Each structure stands twice: as C-alpha cells, then as structure tokens.
Amino acid sequence: MPNTISGVQVVGLVQDWRGSPAIDGASSGFRRYLEVDTNDDIKAELTGSVHKEELPGLGSAWSNDFPHLLLVRIEVKRTADDPVAPRQFDCYYESRFINTQGMVNNGAGTIDYTKLETSFESSSEIITLDPAGPTSGYKPYTWAKANYTVVQSVYFITSITTIKVIRMIKDILAFENTSKGLQGRVNNAAMWNGVFQPGIILYNGYTSTPFVDGNEMQKWRTELTFTARRVTGGAGDIGPGPQGAAEMDGWNYCLNENRTQDTDPVWDRPFTKKGTSFIYLYAAGTMDPLFYAGAEISGNPAIKNMLT
C-alpha cells in the first residue's frame, strides 16, 4: 500500500497510543506520531535513528497480529503556531474486511458456502383453513367427540426460517445477473448439509453496500436472503413436482380446502399445464452460483474455472 503522505519520517508518541481489540469485528485503535527532520542535527540526536520510521499509509494494518485493523483516517496539525513547526499525525484504526473471497477451498477447487457468515431466524406462520361443506356424504372435518361436521375455521402453524448470508463481492453486475435468474425460485437440491430438503428454500434477493477494501479496491458487502418454509413435515409425497418425487415439503404446498375424500391430502401442490409440462407455483433452480458469482478470481485454477 503506497503511503498517501509519502516521505514523512516520524517518531511514535507511544504514551498516546491506545487499542481496543474486540471479537465482534468492532476493534479500534489510535496512534500519534511527531514529524522529525533528518537534516536537523538536534532532532536527529534527540530521536535517534532507531526510533524513526516512515508514517504509516492509509490502509496499513496495525500489526501482523491484527491484520484486519486498518488505518482509515489521519488528522494532521502543527505543534505550534509556526508554518515550519513539526507536524503531528493522529492515526485512527478500525476493523475492515480484507478477505473478500468468502469461500473455503483448501486447494480442492470447491466452494463451501456453509463457511460464509450466516444467520438463521426461526418463526412461525398461522394459516387458516375454511373446510368445505359435505360433498357426496363426505365430511371434510368432523369433531372427534361430537361427531358432526366442522364448519368453522381451523388453524395450521407452519415453520418459517429466514436465512441471511454475507458475501464480499467484487463484480456486483455479474452477481446481479446471476441473482435475477434465481430470485423467486426454490432449491432443487438439499442445502446446509441436508437440513433443508428440495423445495423448502426460496431465494428472495439481496442488499449490497459499497466499500473500499485494504487494497483500495471497490467491493460490495452483500447480504443474501433466503426463506425456508416447512408445512407437511415431509409426511408423504403426492407425486413428481419440480424436483421429482424427492420434493415432499416446502413452498409449492398449499392447504386444500375442497378435499372430497378421506384419502385426499390436506397439503397438496396446485399446478397448471403447458402442453405436457406441469407448472407448479415455484420453479426450481441451482443455488450454488449465488455463492461465487461476482467473486474475485482465486489463484486456484479449479476455482478460477468455476468463476469465469
């Protein structure tokens, strides 16, 4: 990182230094330096060559032990009311993201999105069902003890999990191109180590915030949002869907208010047809590209081929 105030020799006023390490990414630090003139024999004698150094540049790290604690701001003032008085440099450090790959490959050329910064928020959704009246003598719902038809609304609670994934992206337009093709689609394969089966994860979209990293490169801190929905509990598939017979739960299932016989499932998948194709509520897609589109090119050839 080139120094933005180049060629300035300084000594550190270490009694003014302070640091606040933190485990939550909110570390900060402060260092104060005083300018020295190497041509001034008196100043050189007072400071000694062993203590002199070049003023740190913007973006430089606090130390090897704290590589993400970067110099983000320098305040400069004269030490006296004299245009030739030595300058004082107050340097402020804050935590900044450096590793923008957001991937773990271990040289194998694979991207493990489960290693990305991810949050899960679980909640519930109440759905109301208004049972239809008797059809051909069939009672859609009957009171267990009173033994007559239920005509009032009944309630179902479904499981909803909001999932947010953080990525650092270099090419936001490349990512947007990928995102728009998957927004509103459900997963066609199990995700998060099999916790969410096909059809359960819906990709909602993303928000992004631009920043400049420690290498003065424009990046975007991007938060991807998914919603998982479980309704049937996987209790019996009713036939091939967007994912084939493997889809047993998720976004394509709705409550059937007009069941006509006991064997009709409460949760069913509405569809329409285009020619011989079945069209369900949500089309399926492969979510993997969302976790590497727009990333920096890795030095690993296998990763490079995957990203380009």
Nearest 5°: the CA angle 175, 176, 182 is 95
CA 168 – CA 35 distance, rounded (Å): 37
Task: Check if the beta carbon of residue 146 is closer than 8 Å to that of residue 224.
Answer: no
Helices (H), ranges, the chain: 41-47, 172-182, 301-307
User: What is the SS3 assignment for 8?
Assistant: coil
Residue 46's pLDDT is: 54
Cβ(160)–Cβ(120) below 8 Å: no
pLDDT value of position 257: 78
Whole-number pLDDT of residue 38: 56
Low-confidence ranges of the chain (pLDDT < 70): 1-4, 6, 23-25, 38-50, 96-111, 132-139, 213-216, 234-246, 262, 296-308
What DSSP string describes 29-95?
EEEEEEE--TT-HHHHHHH-GGG-EEPPPTT-EEETTEEEEEEEEEEEEESSSSTTSPEEEEEEEEE
pLDDT, tens digit, 9 for 90 and up, residues 148-199: 778 788 888 899 999 999 888 888 999 999 999 999 999 999 999 989 999 9
> pLDDT tens, 278-301?
888 999 999 999 988 887 654 444
- In angstroms, the CA 63 to CA 70 distance is 9
And the tokens for 86? 């030595």
Sign of CA dihedral 29, 30, 36, 42: negative
For residues 86-106, b (16+ Cβ closer than 10 Å) or e, as one string?
Answer: bebbebebbbbbeebbbbebe
Q: What is the pLDDT of residue 259?
A: 74
Asked if residues 224 and 235 have their Cβ atoms less than 8 Å apart, the reply is no
Comparing C-alpha atoms, which of 94, 112, 92 is closest to residue 102?
Answer: 112
pLDDT at 134: 53
pLDDT at 2: 43
Strand runs labelled E in the chain: 9-12, 18-20, 28-35, 53-54, 61-63, 66-78, 87-95, 117-129, 154-169, 186-187, 201-212, 218-230, 254-255, 267-268, 271-274, 277-280, 284-285
Q: Is the pTM of this model over 0.85?
A: no
C-beta separation of 201 from 185 below 8 A: no
Question: How far apart, in whole angstroms, are the C-alpha atoms of residue 296 and residue 172?
Answer: 11
